[in-house]
Chains A and B, each alone.
Chain A
Amino acid sequence: MALRAAFEKWSLDAPLVGAVIVLALFGVAMIYSAGQLEVPSSVTYGIWKKQLVWLLLALMAFTVVARVPVRWFEWAAWPAYGLALVLLGLTVVMGSGQGTAQGVRSWLSFAGLQFQPSEFAKLATILALARLLSARQDLPATLRELIAPALIVGLPLGLVILQPDLGTALVFVAILFAGLYWAGAPIGMLALLASPGAGLILSFDARVFAAYIVLLVGFVYLYRYRLYLIETVAVILANLAAGTVAEPLWNSLEPYQRARLLVFLDPGADPKGAGWHLIQSQVAIGSGGLLGKGFTLGTQKRYAFLPEQHTDFIFSVVGEELGFLGTLITVLAFAFILRRLVRMAELAPEPFAGLVLFGIFGAWFAHVLINVGMTIGFLPITGLPLTFLSYGGSFLLMSFMALAISVRVATGD
């Protein structure tokens, strides 16, 4: 068991790293399959080799980062966070679209290399939030105490929305809630924090919104012994404000974003336009059946009905070619990785480590839910890649950095 010995020597978490590497190799295989089309396209043909090179680079970076002392991460948290904000700010000013994400200014070009600062920003935000929350030893008991963490996440989140990249923005929301949850914020408090979001969505109908506000007031009343009066007022005002700005906000969305949200409600509304992705993805997954059409043999993909099959819709290729069995095993693999992260957070030697681990859990869980959920229409299409499976160099690299940080902080020295 030389491998086992090597893991122990580096004090790495063998099940987690092993599962991730297997998943990443599976991703390379699926990216190879994504390039197997009846009419080969230069966009996808042979890119599995690039992904393999990136995987090797990521593994090298992993071995380096996995040996960095834990203190360094704590020290680096705030500078990294500041750098992330600067880079995100630059994308808003001079970012460009890339590959299958043409409409989103989320890429920066530097010395001939393109990368997505938002990937780095996720990690930096997790670290910064962990620094902030680990500094205190008691439970955040009031809403006011949630303002600082919310701001830490809100800044990069706002910049990401300006790009505009809704999927990544949702991941930031997940990071915030994961951190607060792990820091012990009461569920009711988190619900109040999330309530303006619900108000935003429910304001589509005046009667529904009115009923929601009544329920909210009732909830705040039951929860009154935990709240200051000013907080109560703030929550209700925030909800009312959310309901008011919903329409202007909706109008300020890009037309394609509006279309995607509308076809999420009714995919048949525009089957050849905005509904195309969802319909073709569902047909691909559904036609895969129990055992799939066979590796590289998916017709939806081969005949190019499935768009973005190497990035956002890689999971649809899994569903079409490997069937329900393939999707089940893939989801179980993610479940295993997520469970392992939670377990590591539980056993973490110090609060900072636990918060980092749980933040990474939150980010990855959001990626899996949003990406896999959109392929069968459970969630709107927001253009978010699937961790370790989707094609993309900087995304893979950053995911392995997160993995390295996870296994490093878990060891506690």
Chain B
Amino acid sequence: MRTYDAEARRLRARGALVATVVLLGVLVLGFFRVQVLRSSSYRLRSDSNRLRALPIPAPRGALFDRHGRLIAENVPGYAISLLPAPVDSLRATLQALAPPLALTAARIDVILAGARRYPHQPVLVEGDASFEQVSAVEERRVEFPGVLIEMGPKRRYVAGPTTAHVTGYVSEVSDQELARPEFEGYSPGQIVGKEGIERQYESLLQGRPGVRYVEVDALGRIVGAFQGRPELSAVPGQPLRLSLDLELQQWIDRIFPDTMRGAVVALNAEDGGVLALYSRPSFDPNDFVGGIDADLWTGLNADPARPLLNRALNGVYPPGSTFKIATAGIALARGVVAPDEYMSIPCRGGMQFGNRYFRCWRPGGHGYLTLADAIRDSCDVYFYQLGLRIGLEPLVEAGNRLGFRGRCGIDLPGESAGLYPEDLGYWKRRFGYDGTPAEALSMAIGQGPNAQTPLKMAQFFLAVARDGTAPPPRVVVTDSVEPGFTLDISPENLEWLREGMRRVLRPGGTAYLSSLEHWDLMGKTGTSQNSQDPERDHAWFVGLAGPRGGDPEIVVAVIVEFGLSGSGVAAPIVAKTADFYLRRKHGIPVDTMQTLGEHLRAGRPARWAVWR
């Protein structure tokens, strides 16, 4: 048989034609299946491909302070993205964008990794571009092919870091949050409150996003409105008025020692409203809007000063001598001491109890003291005896009733609970021995197993400033004042507590230099030892202030970490905070020269000062 004779070619041609018909026939059958038999499902997908329900972001409720000043608002924000393109041309565009948008090489790599993952989706370059950056990009638009600039509402915190620990911040809802029931109905990418008021009142502030239907192309570019379905308009979030006094908060930020860490809580004696809640160091919540820079986030977390820690709510410090007011209050309420009664053992710099000698902070001793003078001098020996009179079990029980083991219940998320023995079994469980009466001595002066947040100490002194009861502090004041705890103390005894604290700021009192011209300031110092640096105690001062002859109107609790001296460092902050607030409340011009100490240092006459 010849290779190319006619018969052989005929057979091969026939074979080739059969193969052609069979293979093309299979192809046609495949198209018949896709285009005729299954056409309707593909048509549906084609329609849903280009119809997109776009959320219309609901403007988040604004935050105002008690005087109607703006704390958080919504401003127009800009997001810059790049349309899909080959990675090399994306890289070129990003490098051109790097100077105006301040993109680092690492950031560019992150963006490109995202672009490789979703090669047909626009890739976000900057979620929160400034107006200047947008202008710079717009000016040279031709140099940046495929740049997409979109506008949407953006949160802005007027006072930034100053109010950060109250407001919290917002950012995109996380996958973990979406899985929780309270975020039902939220969609990925939606902006939610993460901390502070933003998180606590998320459901009120969020509002309800609207929906509009648009036709989009594969790159997500809106090609036109879709007329088939009506638009559902957004319901704006509810604005909130806080009890916070923004100017007071800013004043505290100004007077708090620059290099120091600590917290300030100021409460309105009238209703327990939070006038100021300050923690230093702080962070700028505006950095979180539109996505926080990874380096910045790492830096905030790695910072040994822990700027993200809200020391007012989550800083738990031994209360030290400030707790003596609680001991005194408990003793008076139980009737185990009379206010004018001299304690049987005079202070000679300490006292013997059992086989141990308990020292007073003042080696020289205080002699015979009544309650008010013992508060003025913060005499440990007096309070040791008070603790013995109360007894360990009643002291533990009363501390629990006053909430030293719990949370105040402020309307902010994540408040830390205080540390305080639950019952007498605590020592057994914790240390392996039964609590002895000697524990009462330590507990009475605020030592031992006792640590409290600045907020809790402020709330306790709130009860002294009021009628012995204290509601939970509130940032957003509601009409109904919730019951908190009560000291259960008579008005006369309450007045004795205040008198003792008043003497702290009188001649001979440790904080006399913090006394004020116009106001009846009273308070209690405290130092708390800390494990980080035994040489440098944390400094406490908690004070009450109001017009002379009237009830206290403001309670201020201050802790300054490693501040050494409650009277020297913390007390002036309390005094200046209270003075600023009360002057403005009562229409007296504000003066930066406030305390007696400041007047003396400046050589200014201090008419109210009394010298022995």
Given contacts A137-B2, A378-B30, contact A299 B20 (CB under 8 A): no
Residues 219-254 of A, flagged 1 when their CB comes within 8 A of B and 0 if not, give 000000000000000000000000000000000000
Say how far B195's CB is from chain A's closest CB, in angstroms.
33
Q: CB distance B31 to A285 under 8 Å?
A: yes
Residues of B within 8 A of A136 (CB): 3
Say how far A191's CB is from chain B's closest CB, in angstroms.
14
Tell me whether B233 is interfacial, beta carbon within 8 Å: no
Q: CB distance B50 to A303 under 8 Å?
A: yes
* Interface hits, A278-336 → B, CB 8 Å: 280, 282-290, 299-300, 302-307, 319, 323-324, 327-328, 331, 334-335
Say how far A320's CB is from chain B's closest CB, in angstroms.
8
Bound complex: CA of A378 vs CA of B23, how far in Å? Answer: 11
Q: CB distance A283 to B46 under 8 Å?
A: yes
Bound complex: CA of A136 vs CA of B3, how far in Å? Answer: 9
Say how far A180's CB is from chain B's closest CB, in angstroms.
11
Q: CB distance A345 to B9 under 8 Å?
A: yes
Q: CB distance A303 to B36 under 8 Å?
A: no
The answer, among A282, A285, A319, A342, for a CB contact under 8 Å with B16, is A342
Residues of B within 8 A of A378 (CB): 26-27, 30
Q: CB distance B43 to A287 under 8 Å?
A: yes
Q: CB distance A280 to B218 under 8 Å?
A: yes
Tell me whether A365 is interfacial, beta carbon within 8 Å: yes
The answer, among B38, B39, B50, B118, for a CB contact under 8 Å with A273, is B118
Nearest CB in chain A to that of B119: its residue? A273
Residues of B within 8 A of A372 (CB): 27
Interface centre among B34, B45, B49 (most CB of A within 10 A): B34
Residues of B within 8 A of A181 (CB): 12, 15-16
Nearest CB in chain A to that of B223: its residue? A38
Given contacts A285-B35, A299-B46, contact A305 B218 (CB under 8 A): yes
Given contacts A137-B2, A181-B12, A346-B13, contact A335 B20 (CB under 8 A): yes
Q: CB distance A335 to B24 under 8 Å?
A: yes
The answer, among A38, A284, A335, A343, for a CB contact under 8 Å with B46, is A284
Q: CB distance A307 to B120 under 8 Å?
A: yes
Tell me whether A139 is interfacial, beta carbon within 8 Å: yes
Q: CB distance B20 to A339 under 8 Å?
A: yes
Bound complex: CA of A306 vs CA of B45, how far in Å? Answer: 13
The answer, among B13, B20, B30, B38, for a CB contact under 8 Å with A365, is B20
Say how far B327's CB is from chain A's closest CB, in angstroms.
66
The answer, among B1, B12, B20, B30, for a CB contact under 8 Å with A338, is B20
Bound complex: CA of A338 vs CA of B22, how far in Å? Answer: 13
Residues 349-373 of A, flagged 1 when their CB comes within 8 A of B and 0 if not, give 0110010001001000100110011
Q: CB distance A319 to B17 under 8 Å?
A: no
Given contacts A287-B46, A324-B32, A324-B36, contact A354 B223 (CB under 8 A): no
Bound complex: CA of A183 vs CA of B3, how far in Å? Answer: 7
Say how far A34's CB is from chain B's closest CB, in angstroms.
14
Nearest CB in chain B to that of A138: its residue? B3
Bound complex: CA of A272 vs CA of B119, how far in Å? Answer: 7
* Interface hits, A14-62 → B, CB 8 Å: 37-39
Tell me whether A107 is interfacial, beta carbon within 8 Å: no
Say how far A397's CB is from chain B's closest CB, in angstroms.
25
The answer, among B3, B26, B42, for a CB contact under 8 Å with A137, is B3
Residues of B within 8 A of A66 (CB): none
Bound complex: CA of A376 vs CA of B32, how far in Å? Answer: 11
* Interface hits, B439-489 → A, CB 8 Å: none
Q: Number of contact residues on A: which range applies?
A: 35 or more
Q: CB distance A39 to B223 under 8 Å?
A: yes
Q: CB distance A285 to B217 under 8 Å?
A: no
Residues of B within 8 A of A361 (CB): 16
Q: CB distance B49 to A300 under 8 Å?
A: yes
Q: CB distance B1 to A139 under 8 Å?
A: yes
Nearest CB in chain A to that of B42: its residue? A286
Bound complex: CA of A307 vs CA of B41, how far in Å? Answer: 21
Tell me whether B608 is interfacial, beta carbon within 8 Å: no
Q: CB distance B41 to A286 under 8 Å?
A: yes
Given contacts A273-B118, A354-B9, contact A331 B24 (CB under 8 A): yes
Residues 175-191 of A, flagged 1 when their CB comes within 8 A of B and 0 if not, give 00000011110000000
Q: CB distance A346 to B49 under 8 Å?
A: no
Say how far B585's CB is from chain A's closest CB, in angstroms.
59
Given contacts A289-B43, A331-B27, A342-B16, contact A272 B118 (CB under 8 A): yes
Nearest CB in chain A to that of B2: its residue? A137
Q: CB distance A286 to B43 under 8 Å?
A: yes
The answer, among B13, B35, B47, for a CB contact under 8 Å with A345, is B13
Given contacts A272-B120, A303-B215, contact A369 B45 (CB under 8 A): no
Q: CB distance A334 to B120 under 8 Å?
A: no
Tell me whether A276 is interfacial, beta carbon within 8 Å: yes
Q: CB distance A289 to B35 under 8 Å?
A: yes
Nearest CB in chain A to that of B12: its residue? A182
Interface centre among B12, B17, B26 (most CB of A within 10 A): B12
* Interface hits, B247-283 → A, CB 8 Å: none
Residues of A within 8 A of B3 (CB): 136-139, 183-184, 351
Interface centre among B16, B41, B47, B216 (most CB of A within 10 A): B16
Residues of A within 8 A of B218 (CB): 280, 303-307
Nearest CB in chain A to that of B44: its residue? A287
Q: CB distance B8 to A184 under 8 Å?
A: yes
* Interface hits, A179-219 → B, CB 8 Å: 181-184
Q: CB distance A300 to B46 under 8 Å?
A: yes
Tell me whether B21 is interfacial, beta carbon within 8 Å: yes
Residues of B within 8 A of A373 (CB): 27, 30
Q: CB distance B217 to A290 under 8 Å?
A: no
The answer, among A38, A286, A299, for a CB contact under 8 Å with B39, is A286
Residues of A within 8 A of B121 (CB): 272
Tell me whether B357 is interfacial, beta carbon within 8 Å: no
Residues of A within 8 A of B31 (CB): 285, 319, 324, 327-328, 331, 376
Q: CB distance B50 to A299 under 8 Å?
A: yes
Say how far A137's CB is from chain B's closest CB, in angstroms.
6
Q: CB distance A289 to B2 under 8 Å?
A: no
Say how far A170's CB is from chain B's closest CB, in angstroms.
14
Bound complex: CA of A378 vs CA of B45, how far in Å? Answer: 20
Residues of B within 8 A of A334 (CB): 24
- The 6 sampled A-B contact pairs (Cβ below 8 Å) are A272-B120, A287-B42, A289-B36, A303-B49, A303-B216, A345-B13
5 tightest CB-CB pairs across the interface, nearest first? A286-B42, A287-B46, A346-B13, A303-B217, A324-B35
Other 16 A-B pairs with CB < 8 A, given A286-B38, A299-B49, A304-B218: A183-B3, A273-B118, A284-B46, A286-B39, A286-B42, A287-B46, A290-B36, A303-B218, A303-B223, A307-B120, A319-B35, A331-B27, A338-B20, A342-B16, A345-B9, A368-B24
Contact residues of B with A, CB < 8 Å?
A: 1-4, 8-10, 12-13, 15-17, 20-21, 23-24, 26-28, 30-32, 34-36, 38-39, 41-43, 45-47, 49-50, 86, 88, 117-121, 215-219, 221, 223-224
